[in-house]
Amino acid sequence: MTPKKKILFLCTGNAARSQMGEALARLDWGDVVEPVSAGSKPAGWVHPLAIDAMEELGADMSQARSKPAGEFMGQDLDLVVTLCDSAANDCPVWPGAKQLAHKPVEDPSFGDDDPATRYDRFLERRDEIRQIIAELMREMGWAATEVSK
């Protein structure tokens, strides 16, 4: 059996985008990847709307925690994916990573305060991150099969 590829999703706070990246990769590609996530400046909490958005897909993030990037420093990683410019600037290189990919995604927690609009932004960013992961899986040659949505 081929060992799973280890992917780190990195954002600034590890409160929404990188958390959803980890959960989506586990949901869709868990048979071939071992995803983790972290923040360059961890928020210390996971955004409830990120948890709700993932719950709609059947992914349980209720036990997720915001983790510092240093927790994964020095580990052998097949891919580090930065999902925001700030994290890419904070961590332009990653010792031990075989490859880096920068795929900036707008922070869904910023914008107007209308609750319905805010939640829609989380759903849109979730779906965008899901597409990014599928594209990366194909680019890396790790996609044995397509994921049905």
Characterise 142 by phi-psi region: left (phi > 0), alpha (psi -120 to 50), beta (else). Answer: alpha
Distance CA 81, CA 98 (A): 11
Selecting among 7, 8, 11, 87, the annotated active-site residue is 11
Of 21, 1, 24, 23, whose CA–CA distance to 10 is shortest? 21
- The reply to whether 121 belongs to the active site is no
Selecting among 46, 81, 83, 84, the annotated active-site residue is 84
Residue spans of the domains in the chain: they are 5-140
pLDDT per residue as tens digits for the range 94-126? 888 999 999 999 999 987 778 879 999 999 999
CA angle 67, 15, 81 (to 5 degrees): 70
Selecting among 16, 24, 27, 91, the annotated active-site residue is 91
pLDDT at site 25: 98
- The reply to whether 91 belongs to the active site is yes
Chain mean position to CA 87: 12
Enter the pTM of the model: 0.93
The CATH class, in words, for 5-140 is alpha beta
Contact 134, 28 (CB under 8 A): yes
pLDDT per residue as tens digits for the range 36-49? 999 999 999 999 99
Distance CA 135, CA 132 (A): 5
- The reply to whether 43 belongs to the active site is no
